[in-house]
Amino acid sequence: METNRQQKVAGVIQRDLVDILQKAAKEGGLRGTLISVTKVSVTTDLSIAKVYLSIFPHKDSDALLEGIQSNEPLIKHELAQRTRNQLRRVPKLTFFIDDSLEYIDKIEQSLKGKDNPIDNRDLLDKRKKS
């Protein structure tokens, strides 16, 4: 269970990361791409923040995640500038794709169509643990 402090730090990081990533996507020429931060969880010692991203359209998500991960020091610096009055130290950021919406969508499509996963469980991908 997360402490109040962890939740507050995660909220601050999530709010500012949305702005940073959206601005970077626009400046990078990715006009039709929507990046949202679905969840941030911070370790108890506040040294690492796991950031879960939802990227639309999904086909670009892997390449975009690689770009975000390679620019982590720049993103962390920008975050530090924005949160310098709220956070003493910005945690190390680790980024992951949040595939829960895509997973739910696949289930809904399967239930509506003739490929019912209840009848044939092999139709659904195994959910990735992160």
**The overall pTM is greater than 0.85:** no
pLDDT category at 128 given cuts 50, 70, 90 is low
Same domain assignment for residues 13 and 59: yes
Residues 81 and 113 in one domain: no
Same domain, 27 and 68: yes
The reply to whether 83 and 122 lie within a common domain is no
How many Cβ atoms sit within 10 Å of the Cβ of residue 24?
17
If asked whether residues 20 and 83 sit together in one domain, one would say yes
Whether the per-residue pLDDT at 117 is higher than 60: the answer is no
Which of 17 and 59 is assigned the larger pLDDT? 17
Q: In what order do the strands lie in the sheet with 92-97?
A: 34-42, 48-56, 92-97
Let me know: does 37 contact 17? Beta carbons within 8 Å: yes
Helices (H), the chain: 4-27, 61-70, 72-82, 100-112
Residues 80 and 107 in one domain: no
Query: pLDDT confidence of 75, banded at 50, 70, 90?
Result: very high
Q: Are residues 64 and 115 in the same domain?
A: no
Residues 94, 121 within the same domain: no
Please check whether residues 104 and 43 belong to one and the same domain.
no
- Domain of residue 51 covers 4-98
CATH of the domain at 93: 3.30.300.20
pLDDT band at 99 (very low <50, low <70, confident <90, very high): confident
Confidence tier at 80 by pLDDT (50, 70, 90): very high
Same domain, 116 and 87: no
Alpha carbon separation from 128 to 2, 83, 94 (Å, rounded): 23, 32, 16
**Which residue has tokens 């770009």?**
67
Q: Look at the chain and report how many structural domains it folds into.
A: 2
Q: What pLDDT does residue 100 have?
A: 78
Q: Do 69 and 114 share a domain, yes or no?
A: no
